[in-house]
Amino acid sequence: MTNTRFSPEFFSGFAPAAAMTLALSILLTAGAQAQGLRPSAPLRFSDPITRPAQGTAQRQADFIVAVVNSEPITNSEVRLKVIRTEQQIAQQGAAMPPRSELVKQLLERMISDKAQLQMATASGIRIEENAIDAAVQTVASQNQVTVDELRSRLRADGVDYAQFRSEVRDELLVGRLRAREVDSKVVVTDQEIDQFLRDQGGASADASPVALNLAEILVAVPENATPEQVAALQARAQQVVDRARSGTDFTALAAEFSASPTRAAGGLMGLRSVDRYPQLFVDATQSLQAGGLAGPVRSGAGFHILKVIEKRQAGMPSALVTQTHSRHILLRLNARLTEAAAIEKLAEVKKRIQAGQADFAATAREISEDGSAKEGGDLGWVSPGVFVPEFETVMNGLAPNQVSDPVVSRFGVHLIQVLERRETQLSQKDQREIARNALREKKQNEAYALWAQDVRGRAYVEYREPPQ
């Protein structure tokens, strides 16, 4: 893997606050269970809170529970947050905490989120409408629906679309604030990498994995399915398992049978810590080695067939990982090129490429502002965790030769094309890069926790009536 052709800052590792598409995809959880869809990752930020309908019961229950720097948090907002969180916990198969404890934790999180949003607004950060459009499009693409279908499903779940867009804007605001105030200030030294590798070298071989890379095939079960339908779908899932065990390519089976958004990526869910996987997935694959198969595993969405791609002990990978070969076009934002204009320009470029009127590599050489431009935007072969998450999330959802919609990152606006994927042995250089990214993510999370605590501590908070 060669990293010398792209801009050094492009390899900033995992920065959770920037992975907005992963966070927002959970918004479709309730509707997804009925439609056979799954979000590509669990919720990592505040999910949108919709204002309740003006029903009599809701009006009677609506009152202020807390005030954050003169801005209220209402009882109805807390109730909706609780309902959405309980839906997510149930879908993941995790143990449900006591309602009183959950309400307390969620209220504190809402206070912290509001304080950060106020700080982002006061700092002068602005989000253009086209950036929101691009984020909404990314959410729709991750769930393999159009924006119109996304709007319909939100409406069916009682989510007001205008409020949804408002919450998307809020996520972008806070994400940019975190990137500026926290993530950009984290530095990982070579000495820290050396110590990290030494520590992992002494780790117990039978230690529980702290990170997994799974591939899945979802045989969806419709909501209110009859016992006969469930039995038939379970039998179909078992047939898929049997074919996978007999040697049929898992990627091909995912393309044929899976109803998951990961289908386009061969079912790959990506390397992530075990706490970011549903507990039933972790339990089902606990005793398996790389290449092992589990399932059918039943969830609220249907029957899952799982393949272990990689198990990582204490942050380090196994010798075999899935790498992606991609290329991109990057337009950097400045006083003369706004985010909206960059998105519009790259959307037109995509149309011309798909119509056969332009060549991706030639266009990259002509207009891309990344160091890879002279190579036609070619980023070479990369392992998981190398790119910033807002870029990598979209890249992982692309099939070979597919071109993405414009993608907004902290570096500008991108157009991405995946060329091919492969499984390969990691070199020592690759391992050091992965160690650097693992350390950076850990340090960013630690720094963010302290920063968020400081922002919360400086906010004026007045508690009113307890939530009901």
Give residue-wise pLDDT tens across range 225-254: 898 998 999 999 999 999 888 888 888 888
Residue 1, pLDDT above cutoff 50: no
Mean pLDDT for the stretch of residues 368-395: 87
Q: What contacts 465, CB < 8 A, 6 or more positions away? A: 63, 64, 65, 75
Residue 105, pLDDT above cutoff 60: yes
Where in the chain are all domains bearing CATH 3.10.50.40?
211-312, 320-425
pLDDT tens for 115-149 read 999 999 998 888 888 888 888 877 776 666 778 88
| Identity of the residue numbered 197 | L
Most confidently modeled range among 151-160, 197-206, 412-421: 412-421
Q: What is the predicted pLDDT for the residue at 28?
A: 35
Where in the chain are all domains bearing CATH 1.10.4030.10?
16-185+459-463
Structure-token pair, residue 389 = 């998450």
Give the C-alpha separation, 306 to 84, whole Å: 26
The confidence band for 153, taking pLDDT boundaries of 50, 70 and 90, is confident
Asked if 107 contacts 65 with a C-beta cutoff of 8 angstroms, the reply is: yes
Q: What is the predicted pLDDT for the residue at 362?
A: 94
Q: What is the predicted pLDDT for the residue at 319?
A: 55
pLDDT tens for 290-316 read 888 998 998 888 899 999 888 776 545
Give the C-alpha separation, 233 to 225, whole Å: 10
Residue 271, pLDDT above cutoff 50: yes
Tell me the pLDDT of the chain averaged across its residues: 78
Q: What is the predicted pLDDT for the residue at 460?
A: 93
The dihedrals phi and psi of 315, each to the nearest 5 degrees, come to: 90, -5
Which has more pLDDT, 202 or 41?
202
Mean pLDDT for the stretch of residues 103-118: 91
Least confident of 151-165, 340-354, 401-415, 444-458: 151-165
The confidence band for 33, taking pLDDT boundaries of 50, 70 and 90, is very low
Give the C-alpha separation, 337 to 192, whole Å: 39
The confidence band for 16, taking pLDDT boundaries of 50, 70 and 90, is very low
CATH number, domain 16-185+459-463: 1.10.4030.10
CATH number, domain 320-425: 3.10.50.40
Q: What angle do CA 264, 268, 270 make, to 5 degrees?
A: 125
Q: What is the predicted pLDDT for the residue at 29?
A: 34
SS3 track for the chain: CCCCCCCHHHCCCCCHHHCHHHHHHHHHHHHHHHHCCCCCCCCCCCCCCCCCCCCHHHHHHCCEEEEECCEEEEHHHHHHHHHHHHHHHHHHCCCCCCHHHHHHHHHHHHHHHHHHHHHHHHCCCCCCHHHHHHHHHHHHHHCCCCHHHHHHHHHHCCCCHHHHHHHHHHHHHHHHHHHHHCHHHCCCCHHHHHHHHHHHHCCCCCCCCCEEEEEEEEEECCCCCCHHHHHHHHHHHHHHHHHHHCCCCHHHHHHHHCCCHHHHHCCEEEEEEHHHCCHHHHHHCCCCCCCCEEEEEECCCEEEEEEEEEEEECCECCCEEEEEEEEEEEECCCCCCCHHHHHHHHHHHHHHHHCCCCCHHHHHHHHCCCCCHHHCCEEEEECCCCCCHHHHHHHHCCCCCCECCCEEECCEEEEEEEEEEEEEECCHHHHHHHHHHHHHHHHHHHHHHHHHHHHHHHCCEEECCCCC
What percentage of the chain carries pLDDT values higher than 70? 81
The confidence band for 31, taking pLDDT boundaries of 50, 70 and 90, is very low
Asked if 81 contacts 43 with a C-beta cutoff of 8 angstroms, the reply is: no
Structure-token pair, residue 270 = 């990506």
Mean pLDDT for the stretch of residues 421-444: 82
Please indicate, yes or no, whether the overall pTM of this predicted structure exceeds 0.75: no
Q: What contacts 52, CB < 8 A, 6 or more positions away? A: 58, 62, 76, 79, 80
Q: What is the predicted pLDDT for the residue at 375?
A: 92
Give the torsion through C-alpha atoms of 346, 351, 352, 354, to 10 deg. Answer: 120
Q: What angle do CA 334, 388, 270 make, to 5 degrees?
A: 150
Give the C-alpha separation, 441 to 92, whole Å: 24
Is CATH 3.30.365.10 the right assignment for the domain spanning 211-312? no
The confidence band for 66, taking pLDDT boundaries of 50, 70 and 90, is very high
Q: What contacts 71, CB < 8 A, 6 or more positions away? A: 114, 118
Least confident of 14-18, 218-222, 339-343, 462-466: 14-18
Q: What is the predicted pLDDT for the residue at 424?
A: 79
Q: What is the predicted pLDDT for the residue at 282?
A: 86
The confidence band for 87, taking pLDDT boundaries of 50, 70 and 90, is confident
Residue 328, pLDDT above cutoff 70: yes
